[in-house]
Amino acid sequence: MSDINFSMLTGMSNILSSKSKLRIPSLRETPCGEPICGTSADVATFFVRHSKVLVLTGAGLSTHSGIPAYRDEGGAWLRRTPIFYQDFIQCPIARRRYWARSYFGWDHVASAKPNQGHQALARLESAGHVKTVITQNVDALHERAGSQALIEIHGQLGRVKCLDCGAQYPRDIIQTYLRELNTHWTADVLSHNPDGDVDLDEAAYPDFKIADCAHCSGRLKPDVVFFGESVPKQTAKAVDEAVRN
């Protein structure tokens, strides 16, 4: 989700039902000027002089923790077409496809460790130099590093919710359910994706069994914003307040 423009997401109150009406954003090759350059001392001086710094992070911060980015250095999209929100909630096959991919991808995300970038931001917050961190990432690495004034725009993979009754589960619990349901199921992992899932051979999906809500047998979904889904209103409000402050 990191590459979808935030204002576009918050304005999508009516979710489009057709995949053809949505697109994966492409890199806009418009001139933006030379980046500001300086020394580490210049950066330190900036943080000393400004007491209300807001930091926005994206997929690039987590690559040093072993989580892939969405694009290469030239801006080219690296992964296959993701699962869209409307497909996930309406189509059992799409849900099976997602959970099969996530079944193999979750352990990779869960075992990732915060890197020096995450740790530095947590220390800057603790020292009073960073007021808020807003992240597009769903890997929880900021939280694990110790950031507390944190807004996760696109949610967190470590949480799962029921679309029907609202029950919530830790992702590790769902992983256990999936493992019990698929004791004899296996598939070849082709590649890992930044969303905490993997690419599998299409022939592997039909045999995978998905877990239902333990309370109502409803549909389970990771607590993250899918392509075509709106950012929750309370999250958008928190972002607005953080920017104003």
Residues forming the active site: 154
Strands (E) located in 15-125:
53-57
The DSSP H or E segment spanning 6 is helix 6-10
Do 131 and 52 contact (CB within 8 A), yes or no?
yes
CA 14 to chain CA centroid, nearest Å: 22
Residue 77 one-letter amino acid: W
CA atoms lying within 13 Å on the CB side of residue 91: 14
Give backbone dihedrals phi and psi of 135, rounded to 5 degrees, phi first: -120, 145
The DSSP H or E segment spanning 58 is none
Q: How far apart are CA 52 and CA 101, in angstroms?
A: 40
